[in-house]
Structure 1
């Protein structure tokens, strides 16, 4: 599975668990400030946890594997090209990647268009003072809303007695920077649009901001009944801009229920303590690729590599110690030569065994190309299944391609070829990878 989808799987699973925990344990509570903090931290942890490396957990780093017995008898690639089925799988992942990015780009594009529409609305509005507070007066229909540090409303849509309440409500959104939460919720949906948890999170954020604002105003002296009547009268208006925080929110019934709800007891704070182990557990469980707690590459190479062989790195003579110091992740392929093949490829008639290392940064080097040609010349394609990419070709077609190939081809034994290709590979197979 590509790294992108490993990250998305882990991040989305963590996000969904956090959202479910919020709706099950925290949403019924009236600790709206704590709930705001929890929702933002949940979003942050879900996005960051898969990127954290924690030593000693999860998958250990991959190191150089021991040479197989078959490699000692003749030359053999330790890292052969993927089978044909893997090529089809890779194409599938590519289409899935394209589909994911198209969905994310579409939602980000919509967000950009909404911001542009808001900018046009701002230019068409004019500064005004309503109930002693600075606002941008619009001519468009719709309820009042705020975005960032600005309040937008059309005063003609509200009874004069309701305007102080409406403007004060939006001022709380502005003072507490609620737009920041709203934008983070929008970005969460764009990045995790396939995850229902992301859509629930965005709604939970918007809903909780209204609960928090209502609570703040009632605690500062607003009459509860008059405030609810103001909300009811405003409910007949169409919603304002999608990115704004609205005086009139769609969950009006829920807001009124929460305003009349008895304040949660301090004992309910224990629910937040219960969620701390969940956050810690998810941080560890969905942490990214892990390192260490495996033997160092040098120690593993000492156990895997023969001491009597001669060594080459990227077509040039090297020492066993130099091979042991290579980063295993930098190795593109490794081959073993034995007997007369050492002399044929390297011109060294005294050595009876050779280990050839090719690194990823030098696969097209002159020495490597020359080495690959000599290795390919050892291949006898007669009677074997011959493949170029995923296309089977005849011996007459294959020989000139083999002679011209500057990359190392893969020769499979009869047993390996039969396992991969069935009866077609009963005599072995030779593969030339498709051009990238």
Structure 2
């Protein structure tokens, strides 16, 4: 999965999660729960593309397409058609996006440097038993990490403890981590509205938490505290890395402080939100496609493929499939198949490749006639390529000779083997093929027959294909 596609999926997921927050949860006074929800939504959105949601929907059985034989045409000239090597817009888009990320990360570094300079210029101070860093200038109070920054000269003695308490809540609950996470996420996903919206929602909710704590822990009346906030709004904003103080956020904070505490019944909104998100996840999940068992190629299919692609030799002389079919079966002494790369031990592949080209998955079918079994051409062929013939099992040879000659065979000759004619299991008593109509005969040992046909092949198999 490309980086941009991964980011797109995370931001779409985050946008849905924020939709639930703004639609159902934002106006509730369960501010700590909302903080957990916002942090969890960012984590879930980041993991969403990597999770296998297909398990949420039942597997569907794919329809089996009709097989069609498609001819493959080869080029007579063998020329290679060049592919269109146009510009890769995906790379350019990723590069442009990376430049935006780099610019915002650089901006964060500059803002961090400015905050460090302000820290260096501040001095330790204390009021009402609470420590802070005194700064010069007309700056709104703020906190960063475990430090509180403000100018005590701009606060009345009765107002200073309340301001310090507000910032102390931010310090104790490590709200700086949430804000920094939001800034980093916004830099990495700067093109997404969800990234900017998440940071704004988080900063607003953190202020809700601090305001509620001040009203709960101090003896200050809500109206008096709100008037104090209005007066603080006239001061200059703090550094960019801290929560901004604006009239819009102040209006929302005052509205939240004046609202009635949410009842326990309102907790059902969280359940409703999670249920809605679950339904969306299930609806967007791609059903898992049940794997259709792929049928193993039958012996007949394997034999047909080998025969069509094979290199034919008759008594050591290169030939063709058509010529091999013209050979009278009664004139054959033996037929040997070297399939694919499963060569017989000692086979001189290098010499064979030099004379006849790369074999790849082709087979070699060597027909030895009774007339040419002792010919010089066959002896030269077997010597050059180090081909040795193994004597066929007498019983298997008797079965092969009988079927090729058009004679019937008895159950005693089969010795418990199953007989398959053109892929269909056939009783030996009902089988007879006139001489000359036999295309191929394969006698499989017990091991291979069991692998192909199960328990029926425990004694072996005879596989016959007719013309």
Greater relative CO (CA pairs within 8 A, separation 6+): 1
TM-score interval, smaller chain: 0.5 to 0.7
Cα displacement (A) at 1:160: 2.2
Question: Deviations for 1:175-212, whole angstroms, at most 9, x for unmatched residues?
Answer: 01111111121122122222212211111100011011
Distance 2:25 2:188 in 1: 25
Counterpart residue number, 1:211: 208
| TM-score, normalised with respect to structure 2 | 0.58
Report 1:93-242 matches (<5 A).
93-221=90-218, 222-242=220-240
SS at 1:243's partner residue?
coil
Question: Deviations for 1:412-436, whole angstroms, at most 9, x for unmatched residues?
Answer: xxxxxxxxxxxxxxxxxxxxxxxxx
Distance 1:96 1:208 in 2: 35
Distance 2:82 2:2 in 1: 17
Whether the 8 Å contact between 1:218 and 1:224 is mirrored in structure 2 is yes
Distance 1:119 1:81 in 2: 61
Structure 2 residues without counterparts, runs of 5 or longer: 61-66, 311-339, 344-352, 366-467
Report 1:9-408 matches (<5 A).
9-54=8-53, 56=55, 69-71=70-72, 84=84, 87-88=85-86, 91-221=88-218, 222-245=220-243, 251-281=249-279, 293-294=290-291, 299=294, 307=302, 308-309=305-306, 343-346=356-359, 351=364
Distance 2:41 2:290 in 1: 30
SS at 2:237's partner residue?
coil
Flag the 1:101–1:347 CA change in 2: closer, same or farther, 3 A.
closer
Distance 1:177 1:81 in 2: 63
Distance 2:248 2:240 in 1: 12
Counterpart residue number, 1:4: 3
How many residue pairs align between the two structures? 310
Flag the 1:247–1:176 CA change in 2: closer, same or farther, 3 A.
farther
Structure 1 residues without counterparts, runs of 5 or longer: 61-65, 312-316, 321-339, 353-436
Larger Rg: 2
Distance 1:293 1:81 in 2: 38
Cα displacement (A) at 1:261: 1.0
Whether the 8 Å contact between 2:144 and 2:171 is mirrored in structure 1 is yes
Cα displacement (A) at 1:292: 8.0
Question: Deviations for 1:281-322, whole angstroms, at most 9, x for unmatched residues?
Answer: 4556677x99884358xx58869xx745599xxxxx8569xx
Flag the 1:152–1:40 CA change in 2: closer, same or farther, 3 A.
same
Flag the 1:74–1:169 CA change in 2: closer, same or farther, 3 A.
same
Whether the 8 Å contact between 2:140 and 2:237 is mirrored in structure 1 is yes
Counterpart residue number, 2:405: none
SS at 1:193's partner residue?
coil
Distance 2:362 2:126 in 1: 95
Distance 1:36 1:347 in 2: 64
Distance 1:140 1:67 in 2: 82
Question: Deviations for 1:1-38, whole angstroms, at most 9, x for unmatched residues?
Answer: x6223212211111111112211111121111111111
Distance 2:341 2:210 in 1: 71
Cα displacement (A) at 1:348: 9.5
Give the alignment's Cα RMSD to 1 decimal: 3.9
